[in-house]
């Protein structure tokens, strides 16, 4: 039996694990210009380090899912975080764009285990009626990442140098390992899980065939792609289009990301009165409306800096609420194979996120219109998929 105090700390730890990948991304965004200059490249080309990181996250999650079910949660997590620490130190020592792209890929490959463990642990330790609320609390913790990371990254880059950002990331991962060792109870390994690629593929296919999984999981992941489009396009939007300074950009990024904090509190309140499915559909509809408004204002040249901040704040709040409830609903049917289900949700998230960020990066060199279009398309598809679940 887990004591109430330890239970609270486990929820905080799961939020921190979920925040590792976003923190890895958000912390070095304000230093893009400095990193690009030192590596002898442009910020547009440096954006490929975002895509390589997303690809590493997506591929790594496919492997960690079965490993978490076969060996329990802790051992694969330790291995992944050690890989993450090594890759962080290698990023710090990189002197070329190619090296940075490669080591950002490895960084994603190692660090992605944290999010998979967090999702699976909620499924392991908490009753179904509490999971949506717990995910909302985790989002509150995760929301501290985009609130703090850009400001910390900008300050570190100005005072010490961008290389120190990756040293700090390695220290964060080490602290997480200690927290997992101290707090996380052991989960019995399932020795029946087979690790042959053929069997892994069959197991994932069996998970995907569960209607509640692929409908809710897909709607949440596609909804989340709007966040990736925003992250990929935000340097162009604020630094180039609105021509703010890097310090101002970090503060704007923090304010917009506060939508996650607002959404977590709002979702907890909503779940007192409505079921997760209804909250999910409402969040998807709100996201679609905000994405359409953002596109229309962009096309009509009515988008001011303040309007962009407000719309994106509300948009991220809707994405947060949608993803939290979609994840709970998608994970509900699973027990012993929760690790694989958790991994597949994260793979969906990274696949559509990578697709959206690459689309923005490929077409937004001169205009913010591609970012607005990608946000709208992902929001529309998520709404359609979410509606299919109820027919």
Q: Round to whole Å and give the CA distance between 26 and 260.
A: 14
Q: Round to whole Å and give the CA distance between 333 and 196.
A: 24
Indicate whether 364 pLDDT > 60: no
Q: Quickly count: other Cβ atoms within 10 Å of residue 376's Cβ.
A: 22
The per-residue DSSP string of 105-169 comes to: HHHHHHHTHHHHHHHHHHHHHS-HHHHHHHHHHHHHHHTHHHHHHHHHHHHHHHHT-THHHHHHH
Mean pLDDT of 159-173: 93
Number of domains in the chain: 1
The per-residue DSSP string of 204-236 comes to: HHHHHTSHHHHHHHHHHHHHHHHHHHHHHHHII
Residue from 194, 192, 185, 216 nearest 344 by CA: 216
In a domain, 203, yes or no: yes
Of 95-99, 231-235, 280-284, 370-374, the one with minimum mean pLDDT is 231-235
Residue from 176, 167, 178, 174 nearest 88 by CA: 167
Q: What pLDDT does residue 295 have?
A: 96
328 vs 298, residue with greater confidence: 298
Tokens 């027990």 -> residue = 335
Measured in whole angstroms, how far is the alpha carbon of residue 40 from the centre of its chain? Answer: 29
Tokens 């230093």 -> residue = 31
In a domain, 39, yes or no: yes
- Taking a C-beta distance cutoff of 8 angstroms, is the pair 312, 230 a contact? yes
In a domain, 310, yes or no: yes
Q: What pLDDT does residue 391 have?
A: 44
pTM (predicted TM-score):
0.72
164 vs 359, residue with greater confidence: 164
234 vs 1, residue with greater confidence: 234
Q: What pLDDT does residue 144 have?
A: 65
Mean pLDDT of 204-214: 81
Mean pLDDT of 173-200: 80
In a domain, 189, yes or no: no
Residue 84 backbone phi and psi in degrees, to 5? -60, -45
- Which structural domain range is residue 158 located in? 4-183+194-388
In a domain, 188, yes or no: no
Q: How confident is the model at residue 315 (pLDDT cuts 50, 70, 90)?
A: very high
DSSP annotation of 316 reads H
Six-digit token string for 224: 């989340």
DSSP annotation of 41 reads S
pLDDT tens digits along 44-74: 788 789 878 888 887 888 888 788 878 888 8
DSSP annotation of 93 reads T
Residue 111 belongs to domain with CATH number: 1.20.1250.20
Residue from 253, 193, 185, 219 nearest 14 by CA: 185
Q: What pLDDT does residue 145 have?
A: 67
Indicate whether 204 pLDDT > 90: no
Indicate whether 89 pLDDT > 50: yes
96 vs 389, residue with greater confidence: 96
Percent of the chain with pLDDT over 90: 31
Most confident of 53-57, 137-141, 331-335: 53-57
Measured in whole angstroms, how far is the alpha carbon of residue 51 from the centre of its chain? Answer: 13
Averaged pLDDT of the chain: 85
In a domain, 323, yes or no: yes
């Amino acid at each position: 039996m887990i004591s109430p105090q330890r239970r609270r700390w486990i929820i905080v730890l799961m939020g921190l694990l979920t925040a590792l990948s976003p923190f890895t991304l958000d912390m070095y965004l304000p230093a893009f210009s400095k990193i690009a200059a030192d590596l002898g490249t442009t910020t547009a080309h440096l954006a490929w380090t975002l895509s390589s990181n997303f690809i590493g996250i997506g591929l790594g999650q496919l492997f960690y899912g079965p490993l978490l079910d076969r060996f329990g949660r802790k051992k694969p997590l330790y291995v992944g975080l050690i890989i993450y620490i090594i890759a962080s130190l290698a990023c710090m020592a990189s002197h070329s764009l190619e090296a940075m792209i490669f080591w950002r890929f490895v960084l994603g490959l190692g660090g992605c285990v944290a999010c998979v463990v967090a999702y699976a642990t909620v499924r392991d330790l908490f009753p179904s009626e509490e999971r949506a609320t717990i995910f909302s609390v985790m989002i509150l913790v995760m929301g501290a990442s985009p609130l703090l990371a850009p400001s910390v990254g900008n300050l570190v880059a100005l005072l010490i140098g961008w290389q120190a950002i990756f040293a700090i990331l390695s220290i964060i991962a080490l602290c997480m390992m200690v927290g997992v060792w101290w707090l996380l109870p052991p989960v019995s390994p399932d020795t029946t899980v087979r690790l042959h690629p053929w069997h892994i593929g069959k197991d994932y296919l069996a998970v995907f065939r569960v209607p509640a999984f692929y409908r809710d999981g897909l709607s949440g992941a596609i909804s989340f792609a709007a966040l990736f489009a925003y992250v990929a396009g935000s340097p162009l939007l604020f630094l180039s289009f609105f021509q703010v300074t890097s310090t101002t950009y970090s503060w704007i990024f923090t304010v917009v990301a506060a939508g996650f904090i607002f959404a977590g509190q709002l979702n907890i309140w909503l779940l007192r009165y409505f079921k997760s499915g209804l909250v999910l559909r409402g969040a998807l509809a709100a996201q679609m409306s905000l994405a359409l408004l953002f596109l229309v204002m962009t096309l009509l040249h009515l988008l001011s800096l303040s309007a962009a901040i407000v719309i994106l704040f509300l948009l991220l709040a809707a994405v947060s609420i949608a993803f939290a409830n979609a994840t709970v609903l998608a994970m509900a049917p699973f027990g012993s194979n929760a690790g694989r289900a958790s991994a597949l949700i994260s793979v969906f998230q990274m696949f559509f996120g990578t697709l959206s960020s690459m689309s923005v990066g490929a077409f937004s060199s001169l205009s913010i219109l591609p970012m607005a279009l990608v946000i709208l398309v992902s929001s529309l598809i998520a709404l359609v998929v979410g509606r299919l679940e109820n027919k």
